[in-house]
Amino acid sequence: MTLPGMRAWTVWRRNLDVFVKTWKVNLLVPALEPVLYLLALGFGVGYYIAEVDGVPYIRFIAPALVAVSVMNASFFECTYGSYVRMYYQKTFDAVIATPVSLEEVIAGEILWGATRSVISASLILPVLVLFGVADLPSSLLLVPFAFPAGLLFASIGMCFTAVIPNIESINYPAFLFITPMFLFSGTFFPLSLLPAPLQALALAALPLTHVVNVCRALTLAAGLDLLLLGLIWIAAVTPVAFLLALRMMKKRLVR
């Protein structure tokens, strides 16, 4: 398998140019979604739950909202977005007709997915600061961390894009993979409340668990052991998912 070269960034730039032209639509959902969760859960459920491990509930879920947004932005960009560009818009065919290789097209898509995570985190952070649930300057680290975290979910999303038979089938990983992570990765309650086998499963197989732990550690300056574990897990799994995405997508597109 040929590794992608620097022309992958031209694919990234193409997607950025399209994003800039439609920025009003693209920025609305990432900006509003965390506000809704913060109001409904932070102030609603938080009224009945004073603290979690000594931390006010609204501050406990705030970094998890960033992690969820990072996951959604990159994963769905490289599933729905990439599938539309590949199958309906024929963008992949057009780009491959240039000196850009197939591997570079796929890599550019994944890089763009990771960039969408950075954009999403950059939109959410000021909201959290405005509500007083994230402190500066420590929370600023969430923005650069969003790129490797987004790279992980973008690579995983591209693996699903390589095997789904049609666009409707994206609902399966959305409901069977993304939704369980959303609920059982320590986002809205501590992972320690789950039975031991589920805790082990979450730490071993659910990427969002580690992204939430890192975001929470960076924001609250706590759980430094989980911070280290999360960074090691992400650093180990992301290259594997990235190379697997390249291999699977090439197998789908080259017949």
For 89-223, where are the alpha helices, taking DSSP H only? Answer: 91-96, 102-130, 142-161, 171-173, 179-184, 196-205, 207-220
Q: Is 116 exposed, middle or buried (0-12, 13-18, 19+ CB in 10 A)?
A: buried
Q: What's the confidence (pLDDT) of residue 58?
A: 87
Residue ranges for the chain with pLDDT beneath 50: none
Residue range 68-84, pLDDT digits in tens: 999 999 999 999 999 99
| pLDDT of 3 | 62
Residue 150 CA to residue 211 CA, distance in Å, equals: 10
206: Cα separation from own chain's centroid: 12
Angle at 220 between CA 115 and CA 184, to 5 degrees: 70
pLDDT number for residue 255: 65
Question: Is the whole-model pTM more than 0.95?
Answer: no
Burial class (CB in 10 A: 0-12, 13-18, 19+), 61: buried
Q: What is the model's pLDDT at position 2?
A: 60
Helix orientation angle between 142-161 and 57-76, rounded to the nearest 10 degrees:
40
